[in-house]
């Protein structure tokens, strides 16, 4: 049965309403079956979205109409306002997201090895599909929004240049404890905001593939009851987990503050980041297996171990190079870009229907 909603009141001072204003406004003391279902579905979508560079977990929560509930639950928890309903909402969303991440990490990791150019093309489309969402939230644009947009685009392009320079030096993808923790902070804080992909920030920081593969290996070890192999992944998962907690508890509240007090510049900044993001996702790159005489993962490559290092399981650590695509690959890439755009816009359409209701 549809939950009753009061008509949304006009926003003060001409500001835009929250992304899903009016979509989840029942009494906060009630935990209805419909709300439980939306939290479970939204959490699962958010978990899968955070595995994919380009699509935002916050966008998924907007789509199912629980974004405001999620933000309020985090705010209540950090202020120790432990109301049963908000705790239950947060628990359902988080548990559903964790289950989706555990189930989907293996598929994503394998696809990045076997179909890299296609996956990156899809990521570009998913990224650009979030732009109309943020543009709608930002309208009408004022000078602060345009300045924020320009700054966001410049920041993202700067990150892409740093990533490219790091790859040329051979230090991209460093998995130090500090970088893993920073990746957790970046991923968690971006997850809170519609249109901003935490997984994409992890990709730019060089932490995406190590984290995804660590999650996959931990899940595989748990299924095989291999305690030693599962514990070995804690060196990656613990720093990331600490970073996620810091991001959710600290950075999310800071972002919530600036969105309330500096809404237009902040939304413009997010839109600029989003529009410039595909610059770092050029799809036509491929991994190059190490050759004899090189050093791979700290070991010299010899004729005895060259075949082992050339196995697909090591592809995530190979150096990348550009390649000239075929006509079919270009057409396929454009098709996947379009598909990704349509998927994100379709989710946005669901969110818009929730707003209307």
Is residue 119 scored above 50 in pLDDT?
yes
Residue 276 lies in a domain: yes
Share above pLDDT 70 across residues of the chain, in percent, rounded to a whole number: 73
Quote the tokens at residue 65.
């109409």
Count: domains in the chain: 1
Q: Which residues on adjacent β-strands are paired with residue 295?
A: 300
Residue 175's pLDDT is what? 62
Helix or strand holding residue 43 (H, E)? helix 33-49
Residue 10: alpha-carbon gap to chain centroid: 31
What integer is the mean pLDDT of 330-356? 74
Q: Is the dihedral of CA 145, 347, 24, 193 positive or negative?
A: negative
Residue 147's pLDDT is what? 93
The pTM for the full model equals 0.62
Higher pLDDT, 227 or 1: 227
Instruction: Please return the burial class of 202, using the count of CB atoms within 10 Å of its CB with bins 0-12, 13-18 and 19+.
Output: buried
Domain that holds residue 350: 16-284+324-356
Residue 256 lies in a domain: yes
Residue 237 lies in a domain: yes
Residue 5 lies in a domain: no
Q: How far is CA 236 from CA 47, 135, 212, in A?
A: 18, 36, 10
Residue 11 lies in a domain: no
Residue 335's pLDDT is what? 94
Q: What is the mean pLDDT of the chain?
A: 74
Residue 123 lies in a domain: yes
């Amino acid at each position: 049965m549809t939950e009753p909603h009061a008509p949304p009141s006009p926003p003060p001072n001409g500001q835009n309403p929250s992304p899903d204003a009016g979509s989840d406004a029942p009494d906060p003391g009630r935990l209805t079956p419909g709300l439980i279902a939306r939290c479970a579905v939204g959490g699962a979508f958010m978990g899968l979205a955070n595995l994919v560079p380009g699509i935002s977990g916050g966008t998924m929560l907007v789509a199912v109409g629980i974004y405001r509930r999620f933000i309020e639950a985090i705010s209540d928890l950090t202020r120790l306002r432990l109301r049963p309903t908000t705790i239950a909402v947060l628990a359902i969303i988080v548990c559903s997201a964790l289950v989706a991440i555990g189930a989907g990490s293996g598929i994503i990791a394998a696809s990045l090895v076997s179909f890299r150019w296609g996956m990156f093309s899809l990521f570009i489309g998913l990224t650009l599909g979030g732009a109309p969402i943020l543009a709608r939230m930002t309208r009408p644009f004022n000078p602060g929004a345009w300045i924020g947009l320009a700054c966001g685009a410049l920041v993202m392009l700067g990150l892409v240049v740093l990533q490219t320079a790091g790859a040329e030096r051979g230090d991209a993808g460093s998995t130090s404890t500090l970088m893993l923790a920073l990746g957790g902070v970046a991923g968690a804080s971006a997850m809170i905001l519609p249109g901003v992909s935490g997984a994409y920030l992890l990709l730019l920081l060089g932490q995406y593939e190590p984290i995804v593969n660590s999650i996959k290996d931990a899940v595989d070890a748990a299924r095989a009851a291999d305690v030693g192999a599962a514990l070995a992944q804690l060196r990656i998962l613990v720093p990331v987990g600490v970073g996620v907690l810091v991001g959710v508890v600290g950075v999310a509240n800071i972002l919530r503050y600036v969105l309330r007090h500096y809404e237009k510049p902040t939304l413009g900044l997010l839109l600029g980041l989003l529009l410039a993001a595909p610059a770092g996702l050029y799809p036509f790159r491929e991994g190059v297996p190490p050759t004899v005489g090189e050093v791979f993962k700290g070991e010299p490559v010899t004729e005895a171990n060259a075949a082992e290092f050339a196995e697909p399981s090591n592809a995530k650590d190979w150096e990348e190079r550009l390649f000239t695509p075929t006509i079919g690959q270009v057409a396929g890439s454009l098709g996947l870009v379009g598909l990704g755009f349509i998927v994100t816009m379709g989710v946005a359409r669901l969110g818009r229907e929730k707003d209307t209701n």
